[in-house]
Chains A and B, each alone.
Chain A
């Protein structure tokens, strides 16, 4: 009958020891008390001796392997041809927890896709990521989206009412990302003031005449004024990252434009480097490209401050959403009886109400200099 030689305990603190070497070979004869190998802890190296005579049938542990005290190191037999008993697990990487029928990652995927586990055919008895992906692929689901499991919030499951899932367009995804940033990060406030329309209308008309333009560029000129103010007050052109205010070096002005069903935030980058006419033309260019759905990537992202107007729809006041990593979005609206409302959504982490009112008062009158 085969006899096991077990891994000895060297001291009470060490439940695991390292097998250093074996001094015997398979098939060799071993006497009672003969040294067969060494094990090591952090404190000592110990010879392991045979408690009986016999032939080495085989090793269970391997040199340099860390094994549990009390596990089988090697087997001795009464003769060379004796069979080794069923091998025992010596690896330390063994969970005593019973594997469930669904892997944790597969469970996350099921939840993300609002699926019941019963729908998925297991692979080798378990529902794995591969099994869920196979199911999704068969249903025409998007694998790339399904495998990304980084959302921390509770997964929105499908409503219990019949309907169809429709993929979002690029523009719709952009809008969803923007409002999600606003919800998740900004602490949004809104302030408005009343102002006289006359001075701005007159200023825009003079600018039109002076530069031979087709239309008085009232909104681009107000946006240009905002850029000037933001250069003086750098916290207007900033955001919060971690515990610090991040003040942008360039002023990248984002301007909302509705083009058909799509809502864009068209961006003029480094707006502070342009003169007034240069900016009016640059903004005109990006707005034209937005209207034709031809914005370049750099013109559809990277805004550091925003300007939004709903005058075109005769809206008299609105509260805009802040675009990602901005702390200010001007809300321009239609005026009535010579007076208008100039508002601003702002990230209260960066700006307080007093700062926003001061900014709005400056913006309410053109800079005649």
Chain B
């Protein structure tokens, strides 16, 4: 799918490879494609996916290696906190599929963007700024890695990266 999309895309494609996702199955796992909007360059080739409640208490926006963690957090929120959860996962970060994301997110009551990356000045900041510029009125938060180098020690690295409990805590904070 990635090879086909890259071949059809007339511009260079930068694929951010996530090593820990190698073992994941190629399985749509309940995700559906959000219909590509005409104004979103390349969105038909690299779709944005959606899963979960259509009437969510909380929408988790995530991508790449953080997505399985967000899925675990979603299950915890549903099982332990009785919340309805939606996950939105763009396959393409830039050009940002603005229209599709606006359509999907503008009327959601609460949005948490979860990134494995350093989130300051990054993807989550851009998405949330775009929402605010377009009149979003709900609550938002972002969760990512603090602006420090990633530690080499396994224990320190784990403490730096968001896990499912950190996501749950961030969601409970914005309710």
Q: Assuming A95-B168, A103-B82, A105-B84, what are 19 further A-B pairs, CB within 8 angstroms?
A: A12-B154, A13-B19, A42-B23, A43-B22, A95-B76, A95-B80, A95-B164, A103-B81, A103-B83, A104-B81, A104-B171, A105-B57, A128-B82, A129-B82, A148-B55, A152-B137, A184-B137, A242-B106, A243-B134
Q: B87 within 8 Å of A by Cβ?
A: no
Q: Is the CB of A108 within 8 A of B57?
A: yes
Q: A330 within 8 Å of B by Cβ?
A: no
Q: Is the CB of A243 within 8 A of B165?
A: no
Q: Is the CB of A105 within 8 A of B55?
A: no
Of B82, B103, B108, the residue contacting A105 (CB under 8 A) is: B82
Q: Is the CB of B82 within 8 A of A97?
A: no
Of A104, A153, A184, the residue contacting B83 (CB under 8 A) is: A104
Interface flags for B129-161 (1: CB within 8 Å of A; 0: not) read 000001101110000000000000010000000
Residues on the A chain within 8 Å of B123, using CB? none
Interface flags for A136-177 (1: CB within 8 Å of B; 0: not) read 000000000000111111000000000000000000000000
Q: Is the CB of A242 within 8 A of B82?
A: no
A-B contact pairs, 16 of them (CB 8 A): A18-B23, A41-B23, A42-B23, A92-B72, A93-B72, A103-B80, A103-B81, A104-B57, A104-B171, A107-B175, A149-B57, A152-B110, A152-B137, A184-B137, A185-B135, A243-B39
User: Known contacts being A105-B83, A152-B110, A152-B138, is A95 close to B165, with CB within 8 Å?
Assistant: yes
Q: Is the CB of B139 within 8 A of A104?
A: no
Q: A369 within 8 Å of B by Cβ?
A: no
Q: A96 within 8 Å of B by Cβ?
A: yes
User: Known contacts being A13-B19, A108-B57, A152-B139, is A93 close to B76, with CB within 8 Å?
Assistant: yes
Q: Binding site of A, secondary structure by majority: helix, strand, loop or mixed?
A: loop
Q: Is the CB of A97 within 8 A of B165?
A: yes
Residues on the A chain within 8 Å of B77, using CB? 104
Q: B119 within 8 Å of A by Cβ?
A: no
A194 to B102, CA, bound (A): 42
B residues lining the A interface (CB < 8 Å): 19-20, 22-23, 39, 55, 57, 72, 75-77, 80-84, 99, 102-103, 106, 108-110, 134-135, 137-139, 154, 164-165, 168-169, 171-172, 175
Q: How far is the CB of B161 from chain A (nearest CB, A)?
A: 12
Closest residue of chain A to B138 (Cβ to Cβ) is A152
Closest residue of chain A to B21 (Cβ to Cβ) is A42
Q: A303 within 8 Å of B by Cβ?
A: no
A18 to B103, CA, bound (A): 38
Q: A99 within 8 Å of B by Cβ?
A: yes
Residues on the A chain within 8 Å of B57, using CB? 104-105, 108, 149-150
Closest residue of chain A to B72 (Cβ to Cβ) is A93
Q: A223 within 8 Å of B by Cβ?
A: no
A95 to B78, CA, bound (A): 12
Residues on the B chain within 8 Å of A43, using CB? 22
Q: How far is the CB of B10 from chain A (nearest CB, A)?
A: 25
A residues lining the B interface (CB < 8 Å): 12-14, 18, 41-43, 92-93, 95-97, 99, 103-108, 128-129, 148-153, 184-185, 242-243
Closest residue of chain B to A43 (Cβ to Cβ) is B22
Residues on the A chain within 8 Å of B165, using CB? 95-97
A42 to B23, CA, bound (A): 5
Q: Is the CB of A150 within 8 A of B55?
A: yes
Q: How far is the CB of B39 from chain A (nearest CB, A)?
A: 8
Closest residue of chain B to A153 (Cβ to Cβ) is B137
A257 to B81, CA, bound (A): 47
Residues on the B chain within 8 Å of A149, using CB? 57, 109
Residues on the B chain within 8 Å of A99, using CB? 80
Closest residue of chain B to A241 (Cβ to Cβ) is B103
Point out which of A14, A97, A184, A185 has the most chain B C-beta atoms below 10 A from its C-beta.
A97
Q: Is the CB of A104 within 8 A of B137?
A: no
Residues on the B chain within 8 Å of A12, using CB? 154
A282 to B150, CA, bound (A): 71
Q: How far is the CB of B1 from chain A (nearest CB, A)?
A: 19
Residues on the A chain within 8 Å of B138, using CB? 152
Point out which of B80, B106, B110, B168 has the most chain A C-beta atoms below 10 A from its C-beta.
B80
Residues on the A chain within 8 Å of B134, using CB? 242-243
Residues on the B chain within 8 Å of A185, using CB? 135
Residues on the B chain within 8 Å of A103, using CB? 80-83
Q: Is the CB of B82 within 8 A of A104?
A: yes
A185 to B164, CA, bound (A): 36
Closest residue of chain B to A154 (Cβ to Cβ) is B139
A41 to B23, CA, bound (A): 7
A152 to B55, CA, bound (A): 12
Q: Is the CB of A242 within 8 A of B55?
A: no
Closest residue of chain B to A242 (Cβ to Cβ) is B102
